[in-house]
């Protein structure tokens, strides 16, 4: 099936973007000083490769430019690599703001750049539509609003799912703690306890990024856990389930976050009988359906892999394109900020929550997940509808 790509801004999609932002049909963004400058700071080389995020955003902008831009305005998008280094991340943000004169940031995916650069963005009145928020500051700064659910909200959502849908009674959580994430994970657990009126059975925040997991799985078994939630990434997910199989552990539901949602995990565990579940950040990227249609079409045209990270970059770019399309007059930091902080909901098919930036001290607009289950070496949807958390009070 061919899907029309709204990112090429046909007249229909231009109207849609304007309606989402509450602009008038007469809105006409202008760019007298040349292409609109946008950018991102991402971890591309170093300990991890998050390049699919900004690459997905760039594909959106490249295809938009090829179709003539927005009211004739093209977008010049700069992908900066922070290499997982705080000093490099700080320098990259300064370069984007001072030398490239970006009017906004979007599509970034980094281990640490939110924590490093949130203050810089605030001092320079620059807003960031983060593609993949990772560190806690991505969800706790006035200048940053990610398009992803994030590991902390997803922790709350999956504990809630395990309790309400899987009927687990003794929920346990084992976390890998990197940087300043301990408090964020602790708050995510407390949010679930406040919502549910229940108490977590066991929390262990000493899970190693590498090393033998056997003692932790034995601890879970001997503590009577009937569900174990963890924030393991791909290799750790495989190791944990293989260890559970080797120890012949039964009666535990294994709950992972979106970091475990990869085809590599599924292919590595074709024969496990362990019940494995996880939450997605957007529409499951392994599903070919109408909700994913436009994103898939954009990635295919750009020759990019279809991954969850590229969904984040794509969605952040869509938000910025619709925001710019709603501006009547010069596109500047001030006019983009004015539109985003109006707080008008923006709805996209690949997301379970409306995206809202708004004017607040912190932002975590995405509060919905879909749950996948591992079965025969494949991820299969466990939920048809979005599993949505109640609003944060």
Axis crossing angle, helix 52-66 with helix 308-325, rounded to the nearest 10: 40
d(CA 258, CA 278): 6
- Kindly state whether residues 245 and 381 are assigned to the same domain: yes
The domain in which residue 270 lies consists of: 151-280+370-388
**Which residues on adjacent β-strands are paired with residue 371?**
279
The pLDDT, as a whole number, for residue 262 is: 95
The residues near 60 (Cβ < 8 Å, ≥ 6 apart) are: 7, 298, 313, 314, 317, 318, 321
At residue 371, what are phi and psi to the nearest 5 degrees? Answer: -105, 135
List C-alpha distances in Å: 328 to 9, 101, 324, 347, 392. 16, 20, 9, 21, 34
d(CA 347, CA 188): 25
- Kindly state whether residues 237 and 312 are assigned to the same domain: no
The answer as to whether 393 is a domain residue is no
Tell which residue, 171, 311, 155, 308, has the closest CA to residue 232. Answer: 155
The answer as to whether 261 is a domain residue is yes
- Kindly state whether residues 271 and 136 are assigned to the same domain: no
The answer as to whether 66 is a domain residue is yes
Query: SS3 of 324, please?
Result: helix
Task: Region of 329 please: left (phi>0), alpha (psi -120 to 50) or beta.
Answer: left
The answer as to whether 209 is a domain residue is yes
List C-alpha distances in Å: 336 to 21, 70, 372. 11, 14, 36
The answer as to whether 341 is a domain residue is yes
Q: What is the CATH number of the domain that holds 50?
A: 3.40.50.2300
- Kindly state whether residues 304 and 257 are assigned to the same domain: no
Sign (positive or negative) of CA dihedral 51, 53, 59, 61: negative
The answer as to whether 331 is a domain residue is yes
- Cβ distance 126 to 97 under 8 Å? yes
- Kindly state whether residues 228 and 121 are assigned to the same domain: no
Angle at 126 between CA 122 and CA 131, to 5 degrees: 105
Query: SS3 of 11, please?
Result: helix
The answer as to whether 1 is a domain residue is no
- Kindly state whether residues 210 and 94 are assigned to the same domain: no
Q: Consecutive 10-residue runs of the chain (393 residues): their mean pLDDT?
A: 31 36 66 97 94 98 98 98 97 98 98 97 98 97 98 98 98 95 98 97 96 97 98 96 98 97 97 98 97 98 97 98 98 98 98 98 97 98 95 66
- Kindly state whether residues 186 and 241 are assigned to the same domain: yes
The answer as to whether 51 is a domain residue is yes
- Kindly state whether residues 166 and 126 are assigned to the same domain: no
- Kindly state whether residues 269 and 291 are assigned to the same domain: no
| Biggest CA-to-CA distance, the chain | 68
CB atoms within 10 A of CB 361: 7
- Cβ distance 165 to 375 under 8 Å? no
Residue with tokens 């098919």: 349
- Kindly state whether residues 27 and 137 are assigned to the same domain: yes
Q: How many angstroms separate the first and last alpha carbons of the chain?
A: 43
d(CA 115, CA 44): 17
- Kindly state whether residues 231 and 374 are assigned to the same domain: yes
Quickly list H helices, the chain.
11-21, 52-66, 86-94, 113-123, 151-164, 182-196, 214-222, 234-246, 263-268, 293-302, 308-325, 333-340
Burial (CB count within 10 angstroms: exposed 0-12, middle 13-18, buried 19+), residue 292: buried
The residues near 387 (Cβ < 8 Å, ≥ 6 apart) are: 157, 160, 161, 165, 279, 352, 368, 369, 370, 371
The pLDDT, as a whole number, for residue 27 is: 82
The pLDDT, as a whole number, for residue 18 is: 35
**Which residues on adjacent β-strands are paired with residue 253?**
227
CB atoms within 10 A of CB 235: 14
Angle at 76 between CA 320 and CA 101, to 5 degrees: 85
Quickly list H helices, 67-213.
86-94, 113-123, 151-164, 182-196
- Kindly state whether residues 353 and 380 are assigned to the same domain: no
Give the total number of structural domains in the chain: 2
d(CA 215, CA 178): 20
Structure tokens at 135: 């560190």
């Amino acid at each position: 099936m061919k899907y029309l790509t709204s990112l090429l801004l046909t007249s229909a999609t231009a109207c849609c973007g304007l309606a989402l932002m509450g602009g008038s049909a007469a809105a006409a963004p202008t760019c007298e000083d040349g292409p609109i400058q946008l950018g991102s700071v991402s971890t591309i080389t170093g300990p991890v490769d998050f390049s699919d995020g900004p690459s997905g955003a760039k594909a959106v902008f490249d295809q938009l430019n090829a179709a003539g831009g927005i009211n004739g305005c093209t977008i010049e998008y700069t992908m900066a690599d922070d290499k997982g280094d705080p000093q490099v991340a700080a320098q990259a943000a300064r370069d984007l703001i001072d030398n490239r004169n970006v009017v906004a940031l979007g599509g970034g995916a980094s281990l640490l750049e939110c924590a490093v650069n949130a203050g810089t963005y605030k001092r320079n009145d620059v807003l960031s539509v983060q593609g993949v928020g990772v560190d806690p500051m991505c969800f706790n700064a006035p200048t940053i609003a990610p398009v992803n659910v994030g590991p902390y909200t997803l922790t709350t959502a999956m504990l809630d799912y395990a309790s309400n849908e899987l009927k687990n009674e003794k929920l346990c959580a084992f976390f890998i703690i990197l940087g300043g994430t301990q408090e964020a994970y602790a708050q995510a657990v407390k949010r679930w306890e406040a919502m549910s009126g229940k108490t977590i059975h066991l929390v262990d925040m000493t899970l190693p990024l590498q090393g033998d997991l056997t003692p932790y799985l034995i601890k879970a078994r001997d503590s009577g856990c009937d569900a174990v939630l963890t924030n393991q990434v791909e290799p750790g997910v495989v190791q944990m389930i293989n260890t559970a199989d080797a120890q012949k552990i039964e009666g535990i539901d294994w709950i992972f976050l979106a970091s475990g949602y990869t085809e590599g995990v599924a292919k590595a565990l074709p024969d496990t009988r362990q019940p494995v579940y996880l939450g997605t950040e957007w529409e499951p990227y392994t599903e070919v359906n109408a909700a994913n249609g436009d994103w898939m079409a954009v990635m295919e045209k750009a020759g990019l892999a279809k991954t969850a990270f590229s969904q984040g970059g794509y969605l952040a770019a869509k938000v910025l394109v619709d925001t710019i399309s709603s501006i009547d007059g010069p596109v500047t930091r001030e006019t983009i900020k004015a539109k985003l902080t109006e707080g008008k909901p923006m709805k996209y098919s690949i997301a379970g929550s409306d995206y809202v930036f708004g004017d607040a001290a912190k932002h975590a607009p995405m509060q919905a997940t879909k749950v996948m289950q591992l079965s025969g070496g494949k991820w299969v949807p466990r939920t048809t509808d979005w599993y949505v958390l109640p609003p944060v009070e």
